[in-house]
Amino acid sequence: MRTTTSRVAAYLRISLFLLISSVGYADSYLDVLMKLKSSMVGPNSSALQDWEPSSSPSAHCSFAGVTCDQDSRVVSLNVSFRPLFGTIPQEIGLLNNLVNLTISNANLTGRLPLEMANLKSLKVLNISGNGFQDYFPGQIVVGMTELEVLDAFNNNFTGPLPVEIVSLKNLKHLSFGGNYFSGEIPESYSEIQSLEYLGLNGIGLNGTAPAFLSLLKNLREMYIGYFNTYTGGIPPEFGTLSKLRVLDMASCNISGEIPASLSQLKLLDALFLQMNKLTGHIHPELSGLISLTQLDLSLNCLTGEVPESFSALKNLSLVQLFKNNLRGPFPSFVGDYPNLEVLQVWGNNFTGELPENLGRNRKLLLLDVSSNQIEGKIPRDLCKGERLKSLILMQNLFSGPIPEELGACESLTKFRAMKNQLNGTIPAGIFNLPLLKMIELDHNLLSGEIPENLSISDSLNQLKVAYNNIAGKIPPSIGNLTNLNVLSLQNNRFNGELPEEMFNLKVISLINVSSNNISGEIPTSISGCISLTTVDFSRNSLSGEIPKAISQLRDLSILNLSRNQLTGPIPTDMQDMMSLTTLDLSYNNLNGEVPSGGHFPAFDEASFAGNPNLCLPRNVTCLPSIYSAQHSHASSFSTSKLLITAMALVSALLIVE
């Protein structure tokens, strides 16, 4: 090891001497920066345009991202968030007065030059958000004894984590996350006693969960999850990290119970343990995490109830417990959390009712309690703070009407309450909320009508109220929903005709109004819905012919017009609808021959059943009947001609006489 280090040091001394010799030292900073620009700025980039040659000895100090001291020496270089698309050249080693080198999110690639080892005055080295590759050259930091920040997050470094950083006695911030390192966390990392921030997340590490990191007593934030794969559980020793504010071990394969010792972390602000294999009950002692504002235990195998002692966690703003096996009454105390913004507990077995005061803190942004067994009414004050964006209540046992207050929740973007037992009329205001993208109220007991006057909206994308008892006409103002993609109204009691305006929706892909009492004809304007892929008008009382214009729907793959009162022939041009894979025209009064081109030969005969006057191409029995009909018509015509001729002759004889 010493021999290797000596060789590297000798190489660096020679390299530095040659570099200095090639640059006139009086104007070296300007020349060095120009060489940096030449290498870092790729051929397709226009960055660093103000870095231009000059005769002024301090011109370089006015370059963008460059800071000099009183002697015009470059002490800081920050060229972050610029599209450079180049590489760092070896000349970087000549800027040996640098205290801050920050080149973040600049699309740089290649390897880090070993000449960076000459930057011994550095306190901040931030190269995050680039595409640097190969091993991280640990030897470059050995001489950076003043280094406090080393941030190499989100690059393409590979190989083992560098052990040389252990020598950095002033290092406070270390981030190697978002790379492609391998192996285990070196146990020697526990010697970096100055460390306050450790980011080793998302880099593909393995081994036993690193209990030795509990020796880092100054640690405030620890991110060691995501795409790391540890064996064992959360080290109970982590409970001794008294200064810890963030513990993130999400998605790193840990198992077992959450150790009660974590309750000793009185300053812990965020605990992220989601997407693991954690089991057992949630220990009541964890209510000792009195500073906790964010708790995510989702996507685990936790069981039991939420401890009543969690009512003490008054600082919580985010609670995510979804996709576990939790049960018992819904924890009513969450309604008393004064700072609660996000609550997601879907995919458990909670029972009981939501607390009536939920939302009264005026801060609620997102509530998702879907796929539980929660009953009772929807609390009226969920949007009292006018901040609620997403309300997801589907697949529960909610009953009673939808609160009128939700019809005035102008912040709402998503309302999903399908598969409950909600009744009454949908508040008219819900259909006109300015930001609402999704209304899903399928499979309830809702009644009333869709309001006649729907506002012009380019936000609503899905309107789904199928399987209810909604009546009345489909309002023509449905055409005002210009961005509507899905319209699902089936299995209700709608009546009247299909409004022409409905077919002005240019981006709609699915219309389903089946199993209603719709009458009248299918408007020819349906051809204007060029994005349609699915149309289901079945089980209504539609009459008239199938409009020929329907063949212009080139993306239509599913068409169901069955069980109506349609008449006339099937438009021949429908055989040119090459996207059509499912067709059902059964039980109408269609006649004539079924088209024989396109996908029609592949459609089952059941698609045309119940149309006695319809002739299938494979049905030979309908050919004689057509012939017989034609023959009968011809015979009748001949008989008529003979009769007329005979009468004419008789008349002529009578006149002669």
Of residues 106, 95, 22, the one with CA closest to residue 60: 95
Q: Is 406 exposed, middle or buried (0-12, 13-18, 19+ CB in 10 A)?
A: buried
Of residues 95, 85, 126, the one with CA closest to residue 30: 95
* The residue to which tokens 């950083």 are assigned: 165
Q: What is the 3-state secondary structure (H, E, C) of 174-199?
A: EECCCCEECCCCCHHHHHCCCCCEEE
Of residues 459, 457, 463, the one with CA closest to residue 418: 463
Contact present, 611 and 590 (Cβ < 8 Å): yes
Residue 348 contacts by C-beta under 8 Å, 6 or more apart in sequence? 321, 322, 323, 324, 325, 326, 327, 371, 372
Q: What is the 3-state secondary structure (H, E, C) of 496-542?
A: EECCHHHHHCCCCCEEECCCCEEEECCCHHHHHCCCCCEEECCCCEE
Residue 526 contacts by C-beta under 8 Å, 6 or more apart in sequence? 503, 532, 535, 547, 549, 550, 553
Specify the pLDDT at position 252. 96
Whole-angstrom Cα distance, residue 214 to residue 211? 6
DSSP state for residue 620 in the 8-state scheme: T
Dihedrals phi, psi of 590, to nearest 5 degrees: -75, 155
Round the CA-based radius of gyration of the chain to a whole number and report it: 37
Whole-angstrom Cα distance, residue 513 to residue 539? 9
Of residues 234, 256, 232, the one with CA closest to residue 247: 234
Of residues 309, 273, 262, 315, the one with CA closest to residue 291: 315
Contact present, 290 and 262 (Cβ < 8 Å): no
Specify the pLDDT at position 640. 41
**Pair type for strands 438-440 and 565-568:** unpaired
Residues of the chain with pLDDT under 50: 1-5, 8-12, 14-26, 624-657
Please enumerate, as own/partner, the contacts of 461-464 that have beta carbons within 8 Å and a separation of 24 or more.
Answer: 461/437, 461/485, 461/486, 462/437, 462/438, 462/486, 462/488, 463/439, 463/487, 463/488, 463/489, 464/418, 464/439, 464/440, 464/488
Specify the pLDDT at position 616. 87
Contact present, 217 and 194 (Cβ < 8 Å): no
Tally helices (H) and strands (E) across the chain.
3, 45
Contact present, 450 and 472 (Cβ < 8 Å): yes
DSSP state for residue 331 in the 8-state scheme: -
* The residue to which tokens 């699902």 are assigned: 488
* CA angle 251–256–261, rounded 5-degree value: 100
Specify the length of the chain in residues. Answer: 657
Whole-angstrom Cα distance, residue 605 to residue 586? 9
Helix, strand, or coil here: 75? Answer: strand
Other Cβ atoms closer than 10 A to 5: 12
Whole-angstrom Cα distance, residue 571 to residue 201? 61
pTM of the complete model: 0.87
